[in-house]
Amino acid sequence: MAVYTEVPDDALAAFLEGYDIGRPIACHGIAEGVENSNFLLKTTEATFILTLYERRVNPDELPWFLGLMQYLAARGLSCPLPVADRHGRTLRELRGRPAAITTFLPGKGAVAVDVDMCAQVGTAMARLHLLGEGFVAERPNSMGPQAWTGLLDACRARGDELRPGLVHDIGAVLARVLPAWPGVGNNPTLPRGQIHADLFPDNVFFRDGALSGIIDFYFACTDWYAYDLAITINAWCFDADHRFMPARAAAMTAAYRHVRPLEAAEDAALTTLATGAAIRFALTRLYDWINTPPDALVTRKNPLDYLARMEFFAAHLGQEFPA
């Protein structure tokens, strides 16, 4: 369960006095999630999500995240809309943490992923990329390739507890991916803009089989659009035994192209980007695996899921994308 900071009733009541959203009826910690403390907040007016920002989120960047969500929601993307208080502020403080209230989105995160869902995600991701084009403020990707060597070093002492040779194996693939990354040396750059960068099944809601919304923009950043596609293929296009599902990836990519055609350089970079995306999630999961205290109210995610993806894509480095 991801609740790092509890919110007592009296603190919540005082906090809500600053808003015009009714009186609190109930406020429950939400089990899902990893990064922040989230609460389902019911008031006499409506249901909301209350988020207290923890650990990886840099408070100085919160206005960017909230601004992007506001921008995309105002242009028709179904994503949480930050709620302003009586003074027009969307970012506040509660229990010593930065805090915000957003609208509640109906639907549930994807559970049994299928080809049709992957196509819907491809369409929604391409729309997000196009809609974000007018949002000009940039946020560098704090979890991009420049962070990976440091993360690997931070895992070096204990990483092999999970699987012997694991740190070496990630390092070996990293050494091939970093020089091949778009924009490095003479490698071509790619179209870039605002990307979600964490478009996992738990962050995409469906209702009656139709994609109903996208949540959790707290890794969003300004980076290659095709990197978002690569992350999302990693997250959606493998089965429970970590076998690549080419039909899912083909459906996602085709649906994406239908809304935003990929340039030849993006196609050419996709295998490198997918390998890098697998490294990124293997590393952050490994770091969390090592550094999350056993009594923390959070379910740690398995780094080995992304090791398997890394190994799959690394076997295709230098070749066309395998779907």
Ligand X SMILES: Nc1ncnc2c1ncn2[C@@H]1O[C@H](COP(=O)(O)OP(=O)(O)O)[C@@H](O)[C@H]1O
DSSP 26: E
Of residues 5 and 187, the one with the C-beta less far from ligand X: 5
Phi, psi of 199, rounded to the nearest 5 degrees: -85, 65
Q: Min. distance of Cβ 173 from ligand LJ64HWYM in angstroms?
A: 17
Of residues 129 and 285, the one with the C-beta less far from ligand LJ64HWYM: 285
Q: Min. distance of Cβ 6 from ligand LJ64HWYM in angstroms?
A: 19
DSSP string, 79-101: -PPBPP-TTS-S-EEETTEEEEE
Which one of ligand X, ligand LJ64HWYM, none is in contact with 159 (Cβ closer than 5 to 8 A by kind)? none
Three-class DSSP category at 17: coil
- Residue from 2, 62, 204, 235 binding ligand X (CB under 6 A): 2
- Residue from 104, 268, 292, 296 binding ligand X (CB under 6 A): 104
Asked if 160 touches ligand LJ64HWYM (CB under 6 A), the answer is: no
DSSP string, 51-68: EE--TT--GGGHHHHHHH
Asked if 35 touches ligand X (CB under 6 A), the answer is: yes
Asked if 109 touches ligand X (CB under 6 A), the answer is: yes
Which one of ligand LJ64HWYM, ligand X, none is in contact with 228 (Cβ closer than 5 to 8 A by kind)? none
Return the HEC string of 208-245: CCEEEEECCCCCCEEEEHHHHHHHHHHHHCECCCCCEC
Closest to 307 in 3D by CA, of 202, 201, 160, 194: 160
Q: Which residues between 200 and 229 bind ligand LJ64HWYM (CB under 6 A)?
A: 200, 202-203, 216
Site string for ligand LJ64HWYM, 20-39 (x = CB under 6 A): -------------xxx----
- Backbone torsion region of residue 67, taken as left when φ is above 0, otherwise alpha when ψ lies between -120 and 50, otherwise beta: alpha
Of residues 256 and 281, the one with the C-beta less far from ligand LJ64HWYM: 281
Asked whether 120 and 128 are in contact (CB, 8 A), the reply is no
Count Cβ atoms within 10 A of the Cβ of residue 198 and give its class: 0-12 exposed, 13-18 middle, 19 or more buried. buried
Of residues 51 and 203, the one with the C-beta less far from ligand LJ64HWYM: 203
Gap between the Cα atoms of 196 and 235, Å rounded: 13
Interior angle at CA 141, CA 267 and CA 150, nearest 5: 105
Which one of ligand X, ligand LJ64HWYM, none is in contact with 90 (Cβ closer than 5 to 8 A by kind)? none
Asked if 49 touches ligand X (CB under 6 A), the answer is: yes
Gap between the Cα atoms of 218 and 197, Å rounded: 9
Question: Which residues contact ligand X (rule: CB under 6 A)?
Answer: 2, 30, 32-36, 38, 49, 80, 102, 104-105, 109, 202-203, 215-216, 218
Question: Which residues contact ligand LJ64HWYM (rule: CB under 6 A)?
Answer: 33-35, 198, 200, 202-203, 216, 281, 284-285, 301
